[in-house]
Amino acid sequence: MVEVVLKKGKEKAALQRHPWIFSGAIEKVKGSPLNGEVVRVLAANADFLAYGYYNENSRVAIRLLEWDQARNIDKGWYQQKIQTAIAARKHVLKNGDTNTCRLVFSEADFLPGLIVDQYASYLSLQILSAGMESVKADIIDILRDQLNPLGIFDKSDATARTHENLEVEQGLLWGENPPEFLEVKENGIRYNINIAGGQKSGFYCDQRDNRLLLADYTRDKRVLDCFSYSGGFSLNALKQGAMHVTSVDSSAPALETLQQNIELNGFAADRNTIFQSDVNKQLRIFKEEGTTFDIVVLDPPKYAPSRSALDRAARAYKDLNRLAMGLLESGGLLATFSCSGAVDIDTFKQIIAWAALDAGKEVQILKQFNQPEDHPVRLSFPEGEYLKGLLLRVL
């Protein structure tokens, strides 16, 4: 097996079980590994550190897999890692009112570059590292064996694959194609999802817990759900007895699905109003009209894809939150989220504090929102923590 020796002093992160080695930390590669090949990573003093996937095209030149030298990275190793990840999701799926969740979450489950989402009897796969790509056939085999799905669909994120110099792929990998609209349930609410045409991998299951937590505050309230997608927050609020829910998103297909989901769950059509619009524009219109709400949800897309985009993203989050605060009656609630890994919770609080100052509001934090347990955060890999939110009372 090819050995890769790190520069002196660069072994620290690997010793602390961080799974990334940047290209700048490499002293020499003893041989010429293929991209995606498993290599032995050694410290400058030749001590074994870990096994990892090598990829000379990636900024993260090695993705570490296994710190125990005695283990073989063979099909049995993948079987065990996948089995452990699936077993850990039993708690999410335990009472049958949820049949969609993330079964495998990449580095957080010790499988760098592999994401597996379950949608009822179908699986959606993302292969985001050259190493995982090289064992794709084994992965499909293992998933068939352990889960017996009706179909396995490739929904790999294009940008992440480009970073690893992999072709962008999509389509059926095994079994039968899911129907155009596949019904799943989450916390007892029914959703149609479109795996092939939907965003991300079809559904944002990372907001499962937060939708439920917020719903508890919505009885008899007028709720504004911004960036609603297929209605995760809207539907939970309707179920908990919200007086009226206004949903805003710029995507027509997402809103069509939301419309279907309202009917699917039997909610009266007149309890929901949909605006296909840019959220910032719509919030300004509400302000001009004098329209107010009791609760506003802000769940925007990732504004900061990297640390370099942080300043711009901070301004965008600030403007958005300032506008939303301006639509709340005194004592109203704002549930505000960021799914940018580059914006940590302290930075996010600071941004919201600026927004409050600009809006001329006093704000209390009632609750902090996190990503759910099927998106675990490894203490040795803080980069895996990306979703955060605050429930605020705006005075």
Residues in contact with ligand SAH by the rule CB under 6 A: 199, 204, 207, 227-230, 232-233, 249-251, 254, 278-279, 299, 301
Nearer of residues 61 and 339 to ligand SAH, judged by Cβ? 339
For residue 346, is it left (φ>0), alpha (ψ between -120 and 50) or beta?
Answer: alpha
Residue 339 annotated to the active site: yes
DSSP 175: E
Which one-letter amino acid corresponds to residue 282?
Answer: Q
Minimum distance, C-beta of residue 227 to ligand SAH, in the bound complex (Å): 4
Decide whether 134 or 280 has the Cβ nearer to ligand SAH: 280
**Closer to ligand SAH at the Cβ: 136 or 302?**
302
Q: Which residue do the tokens 């919030």 mark? A: 283
For the bound state, the minimum distance from the C-beta of residue 228 to ligand SAH, rounded and expressed in Å, comes to: 6
367 by Cβ neighbours in 10 Å (0-12 / 13-18 / 19+) ranks as middle
Measured from the CB atom, the residue of 58 and 247 that comes closer to ligand SAH is 247
The distance from CA 225 to its chain's CA centroid, rounded to whole angstroms, is 19
Q: What distance in Å separates the CA atoms of residue 183 and residue 261, rounded to the nearest whole number?
A: 9
Helix axes 279-289, 310-325, angle to 10 degrees: 30
Residue 206 forms beta bridges with which residues? none
Q: Which is nearer to ligand SAH, 112 or 232 (CB)?
A: 232
Write the burial class of residue 288 (CB in 10 Å: 0-12 exposed, 13-18 middle, 19+ buried): exposed
Decide whether 61 or 205 has the Cβ nearer to ligand SAH: 205
Q: How far is the CB of 110 from ligand SAH (least distance, A)?
A: 28
Coil, strand or helix at 168: coil
Nearest CA to 133 out of 55, 21, 18 is that of: 55
Nearest to 345 by CA among 284, 389, 309: 389
Kindly state the smallest distance separating residue 214's Cβ from ligand SAH, in Å: 10
Least distance (Å) between residue 206 CB and ligand SAH? 9
Minimum gap (Å) between residue 208 Cβ and ligand SAH: 9
Helix or strand (DSSP H, E) at 392: strand 388-394
Q: How far is the CB of 147 from ligand SAH (least distance, A)?
A: 24
- In the bound state, the residue with its beta carbon closest to ligand SAH is 232
* Separation of alpha carbons 300 and 228, rounded Å: 9
Q: From the CB of 233, what's the least distance to ligand SAH, in Å?
A: 5
Start-end of H helices in the chain = 12-15, 75-88, 130-134, 136-147, 158-163, 208-215, 232-239, 252-264, 279-289, 310-325, 345-359
Q: Which is nearer to ligand SAH, 61 or 324 (CB)?
A: 324
| Catalytic one of 101, 205, 226, 339 | 339
Cα–Cα dist 186/99, whole Å: 6
Which is closer to ligand SAH, CB of 164 or CB of 206? 206
3-class DSSP assignment, residue 307: helix
C-alpha distances in angstroms, 129 versus 56, 98, 120, 172?
A: 12, 29, 26, 19
Q: Which residues are designated catalytic? A: 339
